[in-house]
Every structure is written in C-alpha cells, then in structure tokens.
Structure 1
Amino acid sequence: MENRRQNVPKRVIVVGTDHSDQLYLQESARITQPFDYITLSHCWGTPTNEEKERFCTTSQNYPERLKGFSYHSLPKVFQDAITVTRELNKQYLWIDALCIIQGDDNDWKKEGARMEELYSSAYCTIASSSASGWNNGFLNRTQDFSQLQEVSSVQKIIDNFRELVDEGQLHTRAWVLQERALSRRTIYFTAQQTYWECGHGVRCENFSRIICPITRAYLLDPHFPNRLLTSGCKVTVMFLQELITDYSRRDITYPEKDKVVAFSSIAKRIAEALSTKVSFGIFDCILPRLLLWKRAGKHFDPIFDKDKSVPSWSWMFYNGKVDFLAYSTIRVPQFQSLNFDDSMRSINIEVREFEYHHMSGRDREYMIYADIGEIGCLYFDTDSAAEIESRNCVVIAMSHDDKDDPYKQYYILAVQRRSGEEEYERLGVGQVRAGYVSKESTSGKLL
C-alpha cells in the first residue's frame, strides 16, 4: 500500500459517473484504497491569460476545486478526456493544468520531477493527437473509419499512423516524448481513427498491427527501457543518440524553465536501467559518444548564461536541433582521463593544441587546411564561436587504435580557456588528423 501511495499523483480529478456535471479535485493522500487513474497528454495551444486563469488550478481557486467544479466550465479537450475516462469505467483523471497548481513554483518543481512515476504508474494515457489546443475536442472525426469499404483505403488509414501520430502536432512538443515513453499504454485519438500503443506494439481500430522501426520500438516497452539491457553497446548508443536528436527537434514554450526538466524523467529511467549516472542529458556510461553532438539547424541559440544552470558541454545549453558525428567511424571510444567530476557539472579533461593554417566555412561546416591540404573539419555551436582564435581541443575518440599513425582521425571538442587557468568551455566539435594535434596535454575542467 505504501509503495502504491508513493507512485500516484499528489492530486487527481474525480470524474464521477456518466453525464454528471459535478467534478472535484481530490488529494490522493485522502484516498484510502488503491486506485487506477488515467493521464492526459495534450497540447496547451496558445491560451490567453484570461483562459489560463479561468481553466487552470491556481492558489486562488484551489480550495474551491477541492469542494467541486463544473464539467461545463472546462475547455473541450478536458471534457473529452473526462468522457473517455468515464467510458473506460475509471474514476480518476490527471491533467497537468488542473492537478498542478499553476504559478506555484514549489508545487511545479515537486510534481514536475515526479513525471516518471506519474505516467508509468497510470492505467493508461489519453493522447489528444487531433486537438491543437484546449478549445479543440478530439472525439469528433473528419473521416469515419467504419464506413471505409475498400481494403486499399483502410490500409491507407493504417499507414497514416506515422503522419497522424508520430508527425502530428502533439508529438512536436518536447514534454510529450517522455509522456509517451513512460506510459504503459497510450490511446491516440486522431482525426481519422483511434490507435492503441503498448508493450505488444501498435494496433488500429480493426486490430491490425503496425510494425514500428526498431529504435522507436524501445518506446513501446512497458518497463522502459529494460530492453536496452540486452541490446549491446552499439544499439544503446544509437538509441540514446536518436532519442536526444528527436527531443532537440521538438518545440518547448519556456526553454529556460523546461528544457532540462522535460527530459529529466526519461533520463532518470534510462540511468537507472543502465546503472549509470546522468547529467544534463549526458549519460556517464557512454560519455564520449554523447559529447560528440553538433549543431544541426540554422537557428541554434543559447538558452542559459554560461556561468549558471547548464554547462557548455551539454546539448541542453542550446535551443535548436542537434545531430551526432557518425558512429560507424569511431573505433576507440574514450580515454581514461575523460570523466565527470564529483559534482557531475564539469568534466575532467586533457587539453591539447592542434595546428592548421586556415579555415574555410561552408554552411555550418568549417574545413581545416594545413600545408598538405584539407586535414579535418569543425562544427561550431554558434556563428560567433567560429571567430574565436582558439587552438585548444579535447580528444574524445579516434578512428583506429594505432598510436603511431599520424593519418588517423581524432574526434575532438574545440574548447576555449575561461577566466580560471584550468577552466574551459566548449566551442564546437569536429575531427582532425592526429598528426596535427599535440601529444602533450594539460589537465583542466570543461564547464
């Protein structure tokens, strides 16, 4: 009973019986028996300040909502979620805007940090895939699946899962990634039909099973991400890189406040499964691989002050798309000197110098030239970083393990010394011939 009580939300909405107008918030600690609850994954859209104050739970209306409030006082997407919860014969529903006190930073920090438990412990998650905001319902159809007679038309609807769900507006949101990964079961309500996703795969309304790509199949694990334990290093690295790449391409309304926390629950679950530590989206057990991220989009802006919050070595420092240097060409993954310090906020590094005559930029890639011609390339995190005259680097990996081969490739981070003698910040990532990198190094910390 005690474990059960720890894994439920602090508050739930009691939805009552069919067609009842009466709802009320319930503090879970006051519910004496174990209970099932359903979660809603939805787009907030662009509600006005007046709508937020009217629909959200705040410190001002919280006492009244414990006593009761009206079904008809809520926006359509919440009403539809209540209808589905009742049809599933469940009494309790969790919606972030109603069950977390909005404007209360302490309540948000406590409940936001518990998303892992909240979604993984829910009976199922309702995903309002066809609703772009609060005022749009998701139970109305633009097309009636049951009336489609031609097999080709039915198959077309089945094949649209990627378009309607994976590429739909709901899944452009950063928060939704971990909501999907951590949920044991999810029901997607799209404009054309309803899909069911769980540990056994994805099925549509005629029970046809949809085959998912192997990397995304890990997100179907009801005990996410236990499948990684038997997958081997290469698959685990590929999965984590694709997960980070996916997350970086999603929209987030308040990046300074939510960029880290919206990934924290899924990161915590992965770290526990792999028996490792995680810091700002980088997992200790494959630290070198995940440091080799690079800017992928035109718009790539720092979110945080470099002296606070998120370190420069983390992809979370920026608001924009990231990719990773090619996995297949990296043969030797790390040097023993590369590791997190005790605080998990800085990385112990060995700093070297590399030589070149000049650089030539094309798009976001800068080719490095020496007397013999092209010797490597760099991808700077910002346009201004390319203008910094720094020849310091950290060797992360190499193309092969021949210590005496000057033609092998070093995979490096370009870094710049900060105010402290041993403190550095990241400028970018790239690769360069080993013969143009010094063998001597000095110890430092990457902040």
Structure 2
Amino acid sequence: MSPCSHCAALDLARMVGPAGTAEDVLHHKNLKEAHECGAKGCILCLKIAEELAGRIGPYNNVNNKAWTSKAIILRPIQVNLQNGLHGGVFWIKVRCGDEAFHFNVYPSSEGPNPVPIPSTMVVGHKVNEPGSKEAFEQIRGWLKWCINSHQKCKSPNTMPTRVLNIGAVGDSTVRLEVTQPTTHNGHYMTLSHCWGPVQHPQSMTTRANYSAHQQRIPINILTKTFRDAIEVTRQIGVKYLWIDSLCIIQGDAADWDHEAKKMGGVYRNSFLTIAAAYSPDGNGGCLSPDYKMTKALVKCTTPRGEGKVWLIPRRQDFDTLHKTPLHRRAWVLQERILSPRTIHFADGQMLWECRQGRRCETGVPEQAMTTHRSTWDNRLHFLGPSPRQFFWDWYDMVHDYTARGITKGDDRLPALSGLAQTMLAGLDKEQYVAGLWTSHLVWGLLWHKSRDWLRWPGHYRAPSWSWASCDGQVSFLDPADVHSSALPAIPAIQIIKVYTKPKVPTHPTGQLEEGGWLQINGKMIEIDQRAAPGSAKYQTLPATVPEGTMTIEYIQHRDKNLGIAWFDKAYSGPHTLFVLRVARFKNVQADKPYPHLFYGLLLRPGQNSREFKRIGFCRYKSLQNTSGKPLMEWRDPFKDAKMEMCILK
C-alpha cells in the first residue's frame, strides 16, 4: 500500500518553522478527498478518514457539508522547554472543523541503514509487546528510577494479614501465607482489578478451602488477571502478592470487618500496585491487548539525511485513564491515591505513576498529560493534605467518587475508609463523621444532586445529612462562591454536637449503624408545601450541566418565591417542609449581611418536634436576571425566626 501524493510530500521536519514553532499544514482540502485517497491504499489517509467519519458520521445528505467544506489540518505538538523554547514533537494533531484527534510519533529504526532522528526533533518510543522481555525491562527501569530518585515513594515493610507466596518463574502453584513479623520481611505487591458481574469461586479463599490454599493454589484455575499479576510480580523479583479475594476470607463477615479497616494500609504500604486498567472482569488480564495498530510511515528530514517516523493512533494515556473499566470503580480511587507506585496496564501501553512522577511507554512527556490530574489528585496524592485547601479538595474528590460504580452500596463509606484514615493522620485535632469533617461541617452539609435524582437503599447506611446515605453523584459548593471577595458566605448555624455509630467500634471510618445525629442551633422557617409537577405553582429553573439538564425547582414562602431548590428525590406528594438557613452572604462594602441571601437545607419533620431529616438543598443568591430586575422579592424570611436547637438524623 503506497501513500498518496499528499502523504508522500509530508515531511515532519517542515512542520516546525525556523523559530522552532509549530506550523499548520494543509493535508487535504476536505474529508471526502482524504477518504478517496484512503480507499486507494494510503494508510494515513485511511486512518484519518476512519476517525473523522466515526465522529462526523457517514457521507450522506445530512453530513455532506461536513465532508466537503472543512479542510484537514495537521499540527505538531511539541515539548515546552523551561527556557521558553520548543523541543521535539510527540503528537500530531489532526483537525477538521471542530473535530480533533492525535497521532503518537516515534522514529523508525527499520531498513538497512536508518537515519537516526534526534530527540530535539521527535520525542517518542515504540510500545513493547505485552508480557515481552522488553516490557518487563521497561517496568524494572521505571522502578529503578523511582527507587533511586524519589524519597516520597518509599514504603514501610509492614505486611498485610495474609499474602500469596508466588514462588519462582515457571512454578505451577502459589500458596496463601499468614504473615508473621519474624518470618515475613521485605516487599509485597498489590493488585487493583475489577471483579466483574460474574464471580469466580476458584479465585476466592473461603472457610472451606482456607487450609487447602495454605498448602497450594494451582495457578491454572485462577482468572487470567490473577495469573498475569503473578507473572508480573515474579518478573519484578518480589516474593509476595496481595489480592483481595484470595487474601480476605470471602463470605466471612468477621474477617471482612477485620480486614476492611486495614485496606488503606495494604495499598499504602505496597511496594508496587498492578492496575488491570482495561479489564472489566477477571478474564481480561493485564498482558492481553493486541498493541499492533495500523501505522503510517512519514518522512522526517534531518541534517544527516531523510529519516522516517511512524504515526500511530494515539495510545491510551493519563488523559483517558479515567475512562477505563477499572478507574470507573469506587474502590479503586483510594487504591490509586494511596499506592506509592502503580503500573497501569492500559489499552495500548503501560503507564507508570508514583508519588513524584509519571511515565508512559510512548515517551510522551509528563507535563503533557495533566488534563485529568485533578486538584484533589495533586493535593492528596502528591503533596499531602493542606489544612486550608484540603476540605474543598475532599469535596471535589467525593464528587468524582460518587459517580463511580460500586457493587455493594453499603461499601460507600468503607471504600474511602483507608483514605480517610490517612487524612486523619495528617490533620491535627480533626474528626471524620459519615464522609465529612467536623471542623468544616457547615460547608460539608451543603451537598446536592449533580444531575439525576438520588436513590436510597431501603435501609440505614448513614444519617440523612451525609452524602453517604444515598446513591448517585453529588456536588458541593464552589469555594470561589463561599470566599468571594465581593460577597463571601458566612456560617449561620452553630454546630453543637455530632454523633455517628460505627458498625465496628474500632473502625470509625467504615460502615455505620442507625443512630447518628447532628445537633444544631440555627434559624428555621416552615415554607409552602412543595408544588406538584403540572400544578400552577410548579416552576423550574432551566439548568444545564455537562451531562445534560437538571431539575431545579422554585420554593415558596407565603406564596412568594423564596429561592431555588435541588430536591434529593422526585415529587412524591405534599408534606410539611422547612428550610434551615445554614449560611448567609455578607456585603463587604457595608460590612453587613444580606438578610435575604442564603444557603439552606430542606428538611422534613421527624417523630419528635425538634427532629428533622434532610430532603434537599436550597439557596437564594442570584440578585438579578438578565433584564436587571430582581428574580425574587428582596425580603428576609428569617427575620422573625429565633435561633433554636434542632436535631438532624
């Protein structure tokens, strides 16, 4: 298959101008032209046309204009050096109108006398075959770099309760060992994986096979993910491996309660975590993907002659890792953050992540892969907790966490338990209660649904004021709104006491039993009953979020709009409704609060007169609409209300 005239003339060296800056190159005048070249055998045009057609749609009357009116532009993406200059190219960006995607770039070493491409021109590496000698050498090289260079990545030699003794390369069995301080020293590795919808009894330790597993476990009966993890551990030269379903006795509630509180420490003390990122279950493994992708050869003229570089569709990297099956799991969030080192087996390449750096097989520089390194990721994983910013980072992390899948809803708090324990150790005089922090509880109470209605499990999981009481993604306030220089929010309640009842007394960050409560002094008013959809009083505020639209309703007090509300559940009938004012806004210029602007909780009365349950979040903050007129009457609905004590359950 030969390149078309456009691709034959393409020279990567000419895509960088005399000043070292990237230059746009017209590749084809439109998608239709590229598609025709691809149909005739040009590999690069074929891959470009396939990618764009997948985004735009097939050529037809509807997409005719998109196929014929927009040019295809190529632009090299370069390394930004500290001195402001530009280094080598690591991506080629393909743009057609609003659509864009990337190719990875690496020099070709094929042919009898290949012309070497200097790293000042091209930065990139060929990806190794999964499970190959070269791939394991790459992991060992990253590990050596980390051990020799990074002080923050060191882990103590504290063993879990049980580990797998994996034996030597080529052994057909492993065995389960109960650790002893005198006999079990050195490092162990951990596996982060998806269980999947189908359970694999042969890959679990139960009371029935516990004794047998201490004698031997045939490797060939284990899932492919487990077999691959054993092979990786052996190749690294580590003797022990921890896998949850084999090292925690399944079906034994007492053992689970005992081990769950240690889960954070298991990953925090691990020498290296193996993350089976692309596998949705135990059958996918770590060493399975076919990395062979169609690639196109392009010229790259150097001072030594005409060299060649390969362009291949961009491999999965840190920017897309959050979309993998593994990283959509709730449990894996703390596994990733707490592990000092992780080797991610992604779909297309291996990715290295430790507390002080990131690397990928393709050689893309670390600073290029920051799109999805969240603020909380930086704060919690790489820098440690900051007393002022930590709480807002925690809320941002919970927003991410609550969007992830979890098999057992009752694990909503346990799956963050290890992370909470680690944070407690770094925060002086702090208390963790039902997923929130006592010293910042005023703001932690003000969570709301992110888009969809929230769901309740039908039994007690946490008090109603905790986001952990329900299923579904939640959001918190934006710290910029709370700390606004023009209109800062200030607490309007006094938290007297908070109480939660751990299921296991020695595990306060884990599951809770019924009985938790929060005692507050604040102003509360009864408001009009919630308007039923379709009724004359029912009004909604159109709201757009990244995933679509969200229902935000107006609430009323004495037949006048009081504010807008994010109810937790859909309307289920009229009932008595209260608003507890949690925070109000301060007029910086006048140094007085705006009495009518507030954040609040929507409450339903409980069995006793001063007991309530949370059913939503509300606010009145927007002063004017686009026409400059007030959206709601400026009045203080809490003017005649007194500070009173209430109990939230």
Contact residue 351 and residue 444 of structure 1 kept, 8 A:
no
The answer on 1:353 being equivalent to 2:539 is no
Determine the structure 2 residue equivalent to 1:248. 402
Whole-angstrom distance in 2 between the partners of 1:152 and 1:304: 56
Whole-angstrom distance in 2 between the partners of 1:329 and 1:131: 40
Contact residue 453 and residue 570 of structure 2 kept, 8 A:
no
For residues 299 and 429 of structure 1, do their structure 2 counterparts lie closer, same or farther at Cα, with a shift above 3 Å needed? closer
Contact residue 294 and residue 312 of structure 2 kept, 8 A:
no
* Structure 1 position 434, deviation (Å): 6.5
SS of residue in 1 equivalent to 2:539 = strand
For residues 242 and 192 of structure 1, do their structure 2 counterparts lie closer, same or farther at Cα, with a shift above 3 Å needed? same
* Structure 1 position 314, deviation (Å): 0.5
For residues 403 and 313 of structure 1, do their structure 2 counterparts lie closer, same or farther at Cα, with a shift above 3 Å needed? farther
**1:205 counterpart letter in structure 2:** E
**1:426 counterpart letter in structure 2:** R
* Structure 1 position 136, deviation (Å): 1.6
Whole-angstrom distance in 1 between the partners of 2:407 and 2:476: 25
SS of residue in 2 equivalent to 1:253 = coil
Determine the structure 2 residue equivalent to 1:337. 494
Contact residue 199 and residue 220 of structure 1 kept, 8 A:
no
Contact residue 201 and residue 220 of structure 1 kept, 8 A:
no
Gaps of 5+ in 1: none
Determine the structure 2 residue equivalent to 1:102. 250
For residues 47 and 371 of structure 1, do their structure 2 counterparts lie closer, same or farther at Cα, with a shift above 3 Å needed? closer
**2:334 counterpart letter in structure 1:** Q
* Structure 1 position 143, deviation (Å): 1.9
* Structure 1 position 128, deviation (Å): 0.2
For residues 281 and 225 of structure 1, do their structure 2 counterparts lie closer, same or farther at Cα, with a shift above 3 Å needed? farther
Determine the structure 2 residue equivalent to 1:15. 166
The aligned runs of 1:355-374 (5 Å cut-off) are 355=527, 360-361=539-540, 363-369=550-556, 374=561
Contact residue 442 and residue 493 of structure 2 kept, 8 A:
no
Whole-angstrom distance in 2 between the partners of 1:327 and 1:367: 24
Determine the structure 2 residue equivalent to 1:127. 275
* Structure 1 position 116, deviation (Å): 1.4
Determine the structure 1 residue equivalent to 2:423. 270
Determine the structure 1 residue equivalent to 2:189. 38
Determine the structure 2 residue equivalent to 1:422. 610
* Structure 1 position 369, deviation (Å): 4.7
SS of residue in 2 equivalent to 1:427 = strand
Query: Which range is displaced more, 263-272 or 15-24?
Result: 263-272
* Structure 1 position 239, deviation (Å): 1.1
* Structure 1 position 95, deviation (Å): 0.4
The aligned runs of 1:392-403 (5 Å cut-off) are 392-400=578-586
For residues 224 and 192 of structure 1, do their structure 2 counterparts lie closer, same or farther at Cα, with a shift above 3 Å needed? closer
Percent identity between the two aligned chains? 26
Determine the structure 2 residue equivalent to 1:140. 288
* Structure 1 position 403, deviation (Å): 8.2
Query: Which range is displaced more, 27-36 or 57-66?
Result: 27-36
Contact residue 334 and residue 418 of structure 2 kept, 8 A:
yes
Determine the structure 2 residue equivalent to 1:58. 206
Whole-angstrom distance in 2 between the partners of 1:434 and 1:354: 16
- In our comparison, the structure showing a higher alpha carbon Rg is 2
Determine the structure 2 residue equivalent to 1:319. 471
* Structure 1 position 278, deviation (Å): 0.8
For residues 371 and 56 of structure 1, do their structure 2 counterparts lie closer, same or farther at Cα, with a shift above 3 Å needed? closer
Contact residue 405 and residue 434 of structure 1 kept, 8 A:
no
Whole-angstrom distance in 1 between the partners of 2:296 and 2:374: 29
Whole-angstrom distance in 2 between the partners of 1:152 and 1:236: 44
The TM-score, its normalising length taken from structure 2, stands at 0.61
Whole-angstrom distance in 1 between the partners of 2:439 and 2:567: 25
The aligned runs of 1:59-74 (5 Å cut-off) are 59-74=207-222
Whole-angstrom distance in 2 between the partners of 1:76 and 1:19: 16
**Higher helix share goes to which structure?**
1
Whole-angstrom distance in 2 between the partners of 1:74 and 1:220: 36
**1:284 counterpart letter in structure 2:** T
Contact residue 395 and residue 444 of structure 2 kept, 8 A:
yes
Determine the structure 2 residue equivalent to 1:261. 414
* Structure 1 position 190, deviation (Å): 1.3
Whole-angstrom distance in 1 between the partners of 2:273 and 2:572: 43
Whole-angstrom distance in 1 between the partners of 2:313 and 2:574: 53
For residues 388 and 430 of structure 1, do their structure 2 counterparts lie closer, same or farther at Cα, with a shift above 3 Å needed? same
Whole-angstrom distance in 2 between the partners of 1:36 and 1:149: 44
For residues 128 and 356 of structure 1, do their structure 2 counterparts lie closer, same or farther at Cα, with a shift above 3 Å needed? same
**1:332 counterpart letter in structure 2:** A
Contact residue 410 and residue 434 of structure 1 kept, 8 A:
no
CA deviations on 1:280-339 (whole Å, 9 max, x unpaired) are 11111211221111012325211253xx44100011111111112343222234246125
Whole-angstrom distance in 1 between the partners of 2:294 and 2:174: 33
Contact residue 271 and residue 283 of structure 1 kept, 8 A:
no
Q: Aligned-pair RMSD on alpha carbons?
A: 2.9
Whole-angstrom distance in 2 between the partners of 1:149 and 1:58: 54
The aligned runs of 1:153-172 (5 Å cut-off) are 153=311, 156-157=314-315, 160-163=317-320, 165-172=321-328
* Structure 1 position 137, deviation (Å): 1.7
Aligned residues: 431
* Structure 1 position 261, deviation (Å): 0.8
The TM-score, its normalising length taken from structure 1, stands at 0.87
Determine the structure 2 residue equivalent to 1:376. 563
Whole-angstrom distance in 1 between the partners of 2:282 and 2:372: 33
